[in-house]
């Protein structure tokens, strides 16, 4: 036995529902202004229970949500119908590890606590090798940050404290030899920085105070410009969900 519930506004059905005895909740559907289904799922009062499906205006699935108490497992899809992301919500806040994919390939993983990045996040090359890994605490970078070459070799390593670069930083050539090294203090270069050629010979030193070079008229060498570019890219905080329709652009926007 089933019952039907309809809500009308300006001649359009915005919400309808059906319930079945012995089944948890009432099946409800919401609609776009043109009459296409926007979502459908079971509710107890205003709270969703069990599975809910959300749709794009063209009818393709946007998200599949599985509600159980205050926990929701989510699978998100692009407008092209591709599975791109999955993770959990706790009390409607992101919690635990989230995965972002392009086809069958994982391009990034992130760890959340109460909707803030907290734990390790990683980005991956098309080969599956790690492109970057960064630690977070309550939404800010904290601890070690490492970026890699496509073959797995270390490209850069540094540390964060309270969301700012702090302490020793080193950049590497693809063969593993040191390209540049120096110190950061409060997100700014500080003290003497050393730049090396591929043969390991010291090419140049440069002294900084509060991020400003003592000799600003002197032209930067290639190693200095390259390291600065890597650092600027590493400071970018990019949320993969903003690139749900083109996950590859996430890696480009994040500096890879």
DSSP-derived secondary structure for 178-211 = EEEEEEEETTEEEEEEEEE-TTS-EEEEEEEETT
83 in a structural domain:
no
240: pLDDT strictly greater than 80: no
Residue that has been written with the tokens 């890879």 in this structure: 256
Q: Is there a domain that residue 133 lies in?
A: yes
Residue 35 falls within a domain, yes or no? no
3-class DSSP assignment, residue 248: helix
Tell me whether residue 26 is in a domain.
no
Average pLDDT, the chain: 83
Residue 115 forms part of a structural domain: no
The DSSP annotation for 163-183 comes to: TEE-EEEEEE-TTS-EEEEEE
Q: Is 217 left (phi over 0), alpha (psi -120 to 50) or beta?
A: alpha
Whether 230 is covered by a domain: the verdict is: yes
Which ranges of the chain would DSSP assign to H, the alpha helix? 222-235, 247-253
Residues 86-114: tens digit of each pLDDT: 999 999 899 999 999 888 888 899 999 99
Per-residue model confidence (pLDDT) at position 154: 97
Within-domain flag for 51 = no
Q: Between these two residues, 217 and 55, which has the higher pLDDT value?
A: 55
Domain span including residue 244: 123-253
Contact 29, 8 (CB under 8 A): no
Please, which contacts does 96-102 make with residues 24 or more away whose CB atoms are closer than 8 Å?
A: 100/240, 100/241, 100/247, 100/250, 101/247, 102/247, 102/248
174, 189 contact by CB (below 8 A) = no
Identify the residue whose tokens are 């005895």.
21
Domains in the chain, number: 1
Percent of the chain residues topping a pLDDT of 70: 80
Q: Identify the pLDDT of residue 133.
A: 95
pLDDT at residue 5, rounded to an integer: 39
- Is 247 domain-assigned? yes
Give pLDDT tens digits for 144-194: 999 999 999 999 999 999 999 999 999 999 999 999 999 999 999 999 999
Residue 237 has a pLDDT of: 54
User: Do 119 and 111 contact (CB within 8 A), yes or no?
Assistant: yes
């Amino acid at each position: 036995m089933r019952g039907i519930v309809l809500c009308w506004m300006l001649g359009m059905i915005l919400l309808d529902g059906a319930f079945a005895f012995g089944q948890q909740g009432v099946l409800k559907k919401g609609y776009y202004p043109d009459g296409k289904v926007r979502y459908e799922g079971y509710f107890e009062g205003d709270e969703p229970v069990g599975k809910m499906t959300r749709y794009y205006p063209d009818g393709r699935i946007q998200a599949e949500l599985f509600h159980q108490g205050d926990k929701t497992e989510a699978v998100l899809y692009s407008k092209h119908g591709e599975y791109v992301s999955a993770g959990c919500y706790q009390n409607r806040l992101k919690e635990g590890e989230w995965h972002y994919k392009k086809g069958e390939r994982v391009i990034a993983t992130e760890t959340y606590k109460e909707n803030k990045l907290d734990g390790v996040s990683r980005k991956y090359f098309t080969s599956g090798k790690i492109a970057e890994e960064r630690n977070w605490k309550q939404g800010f970078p904290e601890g070690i940050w490492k970026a890699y070459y496509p073959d797995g070799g270390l490209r850069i390593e540094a540390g964060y404290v309270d969301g700012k670069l702090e302490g020793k930083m080193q950049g590497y050539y693809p063969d593993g030899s040191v390209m540049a090294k120096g110190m950061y203090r409060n997100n700014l270069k500080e003290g003497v920085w050393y730049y090396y050629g591929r043969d390991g010979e010291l090419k140049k030193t440069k002294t900084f105070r509060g991020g400003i070079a003592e000799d600003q008229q002197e032209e930067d060498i290639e190693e200095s410009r390259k390291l600065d570019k890597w650092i600027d890219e590493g400071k970018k905080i990019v949320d993969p969900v903003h690139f749900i329709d083109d996950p590859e652009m996430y890696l480009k926007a994040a500096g890879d």
